[in-house]
Amino acid sequence: MTRITMTVDGVRYDDDVEPRTLLVQHLRDRLGKVGTVVGCDTSNCGACTVLLSGKSVKSCSVLAVQADGADVTTIEGLAGTDGELHPVQAAFHESHGLQCGFCTPGMIMSAVDLLTENADPSDAEIREGLEGNLCRCTGYQNIVKAVRSAAESMRASVPSTPESAATTEGVTT
Amino acid sequence: MIPAAFDYTRAATVEDAVTALAGAGDDGKALAGGQSLLPMLRLRLAAPAMLVDLGGLTELRGVRDDGDALVIGAMTTHDDVMRHPLVHEHAPLIAQAAETVGDRQIRHLGTFGGSLAHADPAGDLPGVALAMDAVMSVAGPGGMREVPASEFFVDYFTTALGPGDVLVSVRVPKLTGWTTHYEKFHQLAQSWSVVGVAAAVRRSNGSIAEARVALTNMGVTPVRARGVEEALRGAPATADAVAAAAGRALEGASPLTDGTASAEYRTQLAPVLTRRAVMAAGGL
């Protein structure tokens, strides 16, 4: 057994784990974070995607011991404490970015990661950014639409920085 | 699918890792990002008795300028490699190839050194390292040693790394005055190369002064296409000359048949991709 400490969705957990325990097993079976699902079990589908220290990873392909000391965000940690959905969750709901819904937790976590890096992705960049996530219902059209819509609402809610305001002014004048 | 049980230790220093791996002998395995190893453990294609985690060795992460070369830490993730300004400036071929590895999630954890040490014939970075004449710095029970890429990849999933060896960093000579391209053919849903071609070209007065070409997945190890390089040396920088040279892409190659493609298919593909790679590298 190896002692690990992990902050998951804002809560700190100390646990003894067998080294071979996968992060996704630890999240689901030990911590009860069953919002993160196991899809393909072969690191192809991305349904198990979580953020590890702010970056998207496939939790079926990470050992829990590798996440020792890290900050993990799962789909269950996105909504506000008042239950208000994260803009990406809200957009998937509004745009119906799902069919059966099994890939949705991973799709949303990957989209959150993508939008952190690129606040205004093109459709091609969205598709490329989600290449590690498979929807076997092939519901990609509405998934892309949802991510585009989430990007718009997230940009609208972020006040422009002095630098970006200056750039905008420079372009328009 | 859960890995077979193993003992686990997190190395605090490179020396720690060497000692632990040497102690475990053939039953030991180094864990870098785990993006190739974890799927293999889970499928029980590998079942090491001891896993030595290199994840805490921050000194193995990062890229530095070392005069006429870049030194890329073995634990630098693909994501960090493909975004690093020094890599873009001095080794854009590596940035371009790293961007095609796996997917976003895999590139966040998978490492440059891990890909080289794994030596998957379908992996992109071994061929790129070979084309760049990269040199591996290896820490082992006998101390540090340097292994050129041409001697590092020895067989199917097999490198010159022995029990107790840890790939520490990779020295990549800067190709000043060269232009490069990585041409990759893969199935849309899988990022492993069916065949890939790494090309670097130095042009001079309308001709090709020098070229370097290495092939991915055209044998059990990456293959340096010496015949193509020879044909391009001093050749006019024209489509016809490049096409003729690319016809020699199969010299030294011995492609395998696997679940993705037959050897015959790869034999057809390699000269075509070589032509495209050299054309793109040479700006033709």
A100 shares a domain with A61: no
Residues of B whose CB is below 8 A from A47: none
**DSSP annotation string for B148-198:** EHHHHEEETTEES--TT-EEEEEEEE--TT-EEEEEEE--TT--S-SEEEE
A60 shares a domain with A18: yes
Helix (H) or strand (E) holding B28: strand B28-31
pTM listed for this prediction: 0.94
CA distance B186 to B193: 5
CA distance A10 to A84: 16
> Do the domain assignments include residue B76?
yes
Both structure tokens of B74: 């073995």
B118 shares a domain with B163: yes
* Domain containing residue A102: 87-157
Predicted confidence at residue B160, as pLDDT, reads 98
Residues of B whose CB is below 8 A from A114: 104
B73 shares a domain with B163: yes
Q: A158 to chain B, minimum CA–CA distance in Å?
A: 25
Indicate the residue among B122, B154, B173 that finishes a domain.
B173
Residues of B whose CB is below 8 A from A50: none
> Do the domain assignments include residue A162?
no
Predicted confidence at residue B111, as pLDDT, reads 98
* Binary contact (B105, A58; C-beta < 8 A): yes
* Binary contact (A49, B35; C-beta < 8 A): no
Predicted confidence at residue A160, as pLDDT, reads 57
**Domain of residue B27, CATH code:** 3.30.43.10
> Do the domain assignments include residue A172?
no
How large is the ipTM? 0.93
Q: Are B214 and B131 in contact (CB under 8 A)?
A: yes
Predicted confidence at residue B187, as pLDDT, reads 86
Q: B268 to chain A, minimum CA–CA distance in Å?
A: 28
Mutation for A interface: B38, B104, B108, B191, most A CBs within 10 A: B104
> Do the domain assignments include residue B34?
yes
* Binary contact (B104, A132; C-beta < 8 A): yes
Residue A63 has its nearest CB partner, among B34, B104, B108, at B34
What percent of chain B is modeled with pLDDT above 70?
100
Averaged pLDDT, A50-62: 98
The counts of H helices and E strands in chain B are 12, 14
Q: Longest Cα pair distance anywhere in chain A, in angstroms?
A: 64
Indicate the residue among A58, A77, A96 that finishes a domain.
A77
* Binary contact (B6, A20; C-beta < 8 A): yes
> Do the domain assignments include residue A166?
no
pLDDT tens for chain B, residues 1 to 284: 799 999 999 999 999 999 999 999 999 999 999 999 999 999 999 999 999 999 999 999 999 999 999 999 999 999 999 999 999 999 999 999 999 999 999 999 999 999 999 999 999 999 999 999 999 999 999 999 999 999 999 999 999 999 999 999 999 999 999 999 999 999 877 789 999 999 999 999 899 999 999 999 999 999 999 999 999 999 999 999 999 999 999 999 999 999 999 999 999 999 999 999 999 999 99
A145–B contact, CB cutoff 8 A: no
Residue B2 has its nearest CB partner, among A20, A44, A134, at A20
A71 shares a domain with A93: no
Chain A, nearest residue to B107 by Cα = A57
pLDDT in tens, A15-33: 999 999 999 999 999 999 9
B117 shares a domain with B32: no
Averaged pLDDT, A134-153: 96
Q: B180 to chain A, minimum CA–CA distance in Å?
A: 23
* Binary contact (A62, B3; C-beta < 8 A): no
A91 shares a domain with A152: yes
Chain A, nearest residue to B103 by Cα = A132
Query: Does the pLDDT value for residue A169 go beyond 90?
Result: no
Mutation for B interface: A43, A51, A130, most B CBs within 10 A: A43
Indicate the residue among B148, B173, B198 that finishes a domain.
B173
* Domain containing residue B15: 7-53
Q: A60 to chain B, minimum CA–CA distance in Å?
A: 8
On the CB side of B60, CA atoms within 13 Å amount to: 29
Distance separating the N- and C-terminal Cα atoms of chain A: 64
**Domain of residue A11, CATH code:** 3.10.20.30
Query: Does the pLDDT value for residue A173 go beyond 70?
Result: no
Q: How many domains in chain B? A: 3
Residue B39 has its nearest CB partner, among A42, A66, A114, at A42
> Do the domain assignments include residue A18?
yes
A68 shares a domain with A28: yes
* Binary contact (B103, A18; C-beta < 8 A): no
Both structure tokens of A24: 């996704």
Q: How many domains in chain A? A: 2
A137 shares a domain with A70: no
What percent of chain A is modeled with pLDDT above 70?
91
Predicted confidence at residue A162, as pLDDT, reads 53
Residue A42: pLDDT band with limits 50, 70, 90: confident
CA distance A27 to A34: 7
CA distances from A40 to A24, A30, A43, A136 (A): 12, 21, 7, 11
CA distance B134 to A119: 36
